[in-house]
């Protein structure tokens, strides 16, 4: 089912971001469809309005899918939304299918910051290698490591879970471990408790996608109710060698309860 599901979702997504948005919704969505994206008003009708507003506000609107991953009934897309004038958004989209219908969607978007802290691109890097099964082998262990690192504030675990040359595609972080560990170390020293909640994961080849919420108590400006899709490429030992993310702050706890 996986290849078929990936093609189905990609076809839906391209049609969704076009003049055929209504046809996309009627053709691909289940009558019991659940929309978890708060900017789409938690509904299929709200999603249509959101799509139309985004397209109408752009001088040269275009959506490009860069990664398509799947496991079981889940399909994940990482896409680039181009609004013209060098304004781009990174989009993370996760879908749950029943047969050939989409029954559930979670999504996040973030402005692609051109003032980068690393030399990489948000949308470049390796593609999934389905000749290996590193994610299926090590995905649960990697998730447990990150739970210890973020939620348990065991910062030494990042030396195990990631290679020293860890490649960062998020504009806000540098390559290697220094940036990540530095932020978490300062938070810990200041008495700030970090938390990481994993909602669901998807393993495909050497890629693992983790749908998460990062939060802090008391509030830290960089980690306050951050709804995130983290995508990692794992090596043959189960360590992260490459990372992409889409991080979206959630305005309220009421919204979060429906996401």
Please give the pLDDT value at position 91: 99
Averaged over 19-45, what is the pLDDT?
Answer: 97
pTM to 2 decimals?
A: 0.96
Give yes or no for a contact between 226 and 214, defined as CB atoms under 8 angstroms apart: yes
Examine the pLDDT at 45 and tell me if it is beyond 70: yes
Mean per-residue pLDDT of the chain? 95
Cα distances from 36 to residues 21, 43, 97, 217, 247, in angstroms, run 18, 8, 15, 25, 15
In this structure, CATH architecture of domain 2-111 = Roll (3.10)
Averaged over 60-74, what is the pLDDT?
Answer: 97
Please give the pLDDT value at position 182: 86
The two domains 2-111 and 134-257 share their CATH topology (first three levels equal): yes
Convert the pLDDT of each residue in 156-176 to its tens digit.
999 999 999 999 999 888 888
Examine the pLDDT at 222 and tell me if it is beyond 80: no
Mention every residue, 6+ apart, whose C-beta is less than 8 A from residue 231. Answer: 67, 69, 76, 78, 92, 207, 208, 209, 210, 243, 244, 245
User: How much of the chain, in percent, has pLDDT values that exceed 90?
Assistant: 85
Please give the pLDDT value at position 174: 87
Averaged over 123-148, what is the pLDDT?
Answer: 98
Examine the pLDDT at 219 and tell me if it is beyond 90: no
Going from N- to C-terminal start, the domains of the chain cover: 2-111, 134-257
Gap between the Cα atoms of 142 and 38, Å rounded:
29
At 43 the three-state DSSP class reads coil
Averaged over 180-202, what is the pLDDT?
Answer: 93
Please give the pLDDT value at position 220: 81
Examine the pLDDT at 140 and tell me if it is beyond 80: yes
Examine the pLDDT at 62 and tell me if it is beyond 80: yes
Please give the pLDDT value at position 248: 92
Please give the pLDDT value at position 245: 97
Please give the pLDDT value at position 1: 59
Averaged over 28-35, what is the pLDDT?
Answer: 98
Q: Which two tokens stand for residue 214?
A: 């990062």
Other CB atoms within a 10 A radius of the CB of residue 254 amount to 9
For 134-257, give the CATH class: alpha beta
Examine the pLDDT at 224 and tell me if it is beyond 90: no
Gap between the Cα atoms of 4 and 100, Å rounded:
9
Q: Using 50, 70 and 90 to split pLDDT, how confident is the model at 26?
A: very high
Most confident of 136-140, 164-168, 183-187: 136-140
Q: Is the peptide bond before 258 cis (omega within 30 degrees of 0)?
A: no
Cα distances from 216 to residues 184, 195, 219, 228, 255, in angstroms, run 11, 6, 5, 14, 18
Averaged over 67-81, what is the pLDDT?
Answer: 99
Cα distances from 214 to residues 89, 146, 210, 223, in angstroms, run 21, 11, 12, 6
């Amino acid at each position: 089912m996986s290849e078929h599901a990936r093609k189905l979702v990609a076809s839906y997504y391209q049609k969704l971001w076009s003049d055929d948005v209504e046809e996309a919704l009627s053709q691909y969505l289940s009558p019991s469809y659940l929309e978890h994206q708060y900017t789409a008003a938690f509904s299929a009708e709200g999603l249509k309005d959101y799509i139309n507003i985004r397209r109408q506000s752009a001088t040269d609107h275009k959506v490009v899918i860069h990664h398509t991953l799947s496991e079981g009934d889940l399909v994940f897309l990482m896409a680039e939304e181009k609004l013209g004038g060098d304004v781009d958004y990174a989009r993370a989209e996760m879908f749950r299918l029943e047969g050939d219908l989409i029954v559930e969607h979670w999504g996040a978007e973030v402005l692609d910051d051109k003032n980068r802290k690393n030399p990489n691109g948000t949308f470049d890097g390796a593609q999934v290698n389905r000749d290996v099964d590193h994610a299926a082998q090590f995905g649960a262990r990697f998730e447990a490591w990150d739970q210890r690192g973020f939620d348990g504030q065991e910062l030494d675990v990042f030396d195990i879970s990631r290679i020293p040359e860890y490649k960062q595609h998020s504009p806000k972080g540098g390559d290697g471990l220094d940036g990540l560990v530095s932020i978490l170390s300062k938070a810990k020293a200041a008495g700030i408790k970090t938390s990481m909640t994993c909602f669901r994961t998807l393993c495909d080849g050497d890629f693992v996608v983790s749908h998460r919420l990062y939060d802090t108590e008391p509030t830290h400006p960089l980690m306050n109710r951050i709804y995130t899709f983290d995508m990692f490429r794992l090596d043959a030992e189960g360590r992260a060698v490459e990372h992409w993310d889409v991080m979206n702050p959630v305005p309220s706890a009421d919204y979060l309860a429906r996401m």
